[in-house]
Amino acid sequence: MTDTSKLRAWTEIDYQAIAHNVAEVRKLVGNTKILGILKADAYGHGALECAAALADAGVDFFAVACLAEGQQLRAAGFHQPILLLGATPPAAFDELIEGDFIQTLVSLEYARKLSDYALAHGTKAKAHVKVDTGMNRVGIQYQDGARRYDQIKAAYGLPGLDVQGIFSHFPVSDDLGFDSREFTRHQIRLFKEVLDRLKNDGIDPGVRHIQNSYGILNYKDLGMDYCRPGLLYMGVTSDDQVPIASAPDFIPILSLKTKVSMVKTVPAGATVSYGRHYKCDQPRRIASLSIGYADGLPRLASNQNLMISIRGHKVPLVGNICMDQCMADVTGFDEIEEGDIATIIGVDGPNVMTVDAISRAAKTINNETLSALSKRLTRIAKDE
């Protein structure tokens, strides 16, 4: 067991469970390979450790948001292909090529700039074309009212580019409602239409990918070359209350824990924390915990009856979450004392505390809660 005696707040990550989660993804997507999403430090799980676990599980392709994240992987010795999902500023094209990254082409104009730069430096830049079938974030539009196939084709013809793949992205693959399913199915049709048109024009599109985690859960095997899960290999979805079309058996890999720094009895009528939102109706035993919103426990989750677990007892957080501390009402559990470990996310005796509960209390999704976990938390790998 890792010694946590000197720690105030930490995450415990079960990297070994990634192999299990990858296997669950594979059951859904058939022969489609996995492109592991590692952006935002793998949503707070540790990009390097996740990359190593994914590689061990046979994942041979990674994606990150930006150059700095890619460079972190390269510096750690990861030689796999790495796709940069966001636009790299033209002023950093030298580093893009230096790091042997694959750049997402966010527009034809951008593709031309990258091609010109590479040509001028006697090289070719690796790239994937992003096709915007309805997200309207980045990519060359190919949607009703804006089928810009000529631009997609032109990107493949740029002399300074080595276009190795093509992809699109779903905005509502998480929603099983009729309209959202129609929208997503239409996106798939549009993407396949682009692929057919490229084929008819004698252009090899390279590797094709479109599914994020919900695309995998709800649309399963689309016959693409790769799928792009982030959340799923971490063992969670965006929101456990949202119904999904499959029933995989994922293991959440992250636990979040802290310590009880003191326990006191607060008299009847007194209040707890900033804003005085929690008033003790009778004398209450209040435990102070060494974790706050600067650690990533969202302040919006304050005063929402969010439960945590200490010594196998579920107790509510009370009062406003502060920057570095928060309080739980432990009345009735006399054995809870200073130095106890409090489980915010994870398993504690019979209790399973989920990130979903925190996200719900904070009116957000797990993607945000996890990626906002701060660097101040010590990260430890769970022992066997």
CB nearer to ligand PLP: give 228 or 313: 228
Q: Are 21 and 232 in contact (CB under 8 A)?
A: yes
- Of 37 and 108, which CB lies nearer to ligand PLP in the complex structure? 37
For residue 5, what is the enclosing H or E element? none
Residue whose CB is less far from ligand PLP, 137 or 264 = 137
Distance between CA 364 and CA 62 in Å, rounded?
26
- Asked if 37 is part of the footprint of ligand PLP (rule: CB under 6 A), the reply reads yes
Q: Cβ 163 to ligand PLP, closest distance in Å?
A: 17
Q: How far is the CB of 231 from ligand PLP (least distance, A)?
A: 4
Measured N-to-C along each axis, helices 67-75 and 47-56 cross at an angle, to the nearest 10 degrees, of 60
Q: Does 254 bind ligand PLP (CB under 6 A)?
A: no
Phi-psi region of 303 (alpha: psi -120 to 50; beta: other; left: phi over 0): left
The catalytically annotated residue of 199, 264, 274, 363 is 274
> Phi/psi zone of residue 100: left (φ > 0), alpha (ψ -120 to 50 degrees), beta?
left
User: Least distance (Å) from ligand PLP to the CB of residue 7?
Assistant: 28
Considering the rule CB under 6 A, would residue 230 count as an interface residue with ligand PLP? Answer: yes
Burial status of residue 72 (CB atoms within 10 A of its CB: 0-12, 13-18, 19 or more):
middle
Does residue 382 have an active-site annotation? no
The residue within the footprint of ligand PLP, chosen from 169, 208, 257, 284 (CB under 6 A), is: 169
Please tell me the distance from the alpha carbon of residue 193 to that of residue 332, in angstroms, as a whole number. Answer: 64
Q: Least distance in Å: CB of 244 to ligand PLP?
A: 12
Query: CA gyration radius for the chain?
Result: 24
Stretch that binds ligand PLP, among 25-33, 185-193, 222-230, 259-267 (CB under 6 A): 222-230
DSSP assignment of 232-271 equals HHHT--S-TTS--S--------EEEEEEEEEEEEEPTT-E
Counting residues that bind ligand PLP (by CB under 6 A) gives: 9
Does residue 257 belong to the site contacting ligand PLP (CB under 6 A)? Answer: no
Contact window for ligand PLP (CB under 6 A) among 108-116, 229-237, 248-256, 350-358: 229-237
Contact between 45 and ligand PLP (CB under 6 A)? no
Q: Which of 52, 44, 94 is nearest to 76 (CA)?
A: 52
User: Interface with ligand PLP by CB under 6 A: which range of 120-128, 223-231, 283-291, 295-303?
Assistant: 223-231
Least Å distance, CB 234 to ligand PLP, is 8
- Residue 2: phi and psi, rounded to 5, are -65, 140
Binder to ligand PLP among 213, 255, 258, 288 (CB under 6 A)?
213
CB-nearer residue toward ligand PLP: 102 or 336: 102
Q: Tally DSSP H helices, then E strands, for the chain.
A: 12, 21
| Nearest-angstrom CA–CA distance, 5 and 112 | 56
Closest contact distance (angstroms) between CB of 156 and ligand PLP is: 20
Does the active-site annotation cover 149? Answer: no
- Please choose, out of 10-18, 50-58, 228-236, 327-335, the segment that lies near ligand PLP by the rule CB under 6 A: 228-236
Cα distance between residue 318 and residue 360, in whole Å: 16
The residue written with tokens 């090289």 in the block is: 123
Q: Which is nearer to ligand PLP, 217 or 286 (CB)?
A: 217
Query: Which residue do the tokens 């390279």 mark?
Result: 206
Closer residue to ligand PLP, CB minimum distance, 43 or 156: 43
Residue 315 forms beta bridges with which residues? 308
Residue among 119, 62, 63, 59 at smallest CA distance from 86: 63
Catalytic amino acids?
39, 274
Which residues bind to ligand PLP, rule: CB under 6 A? 37, 85, 169, 212-213, 228-231
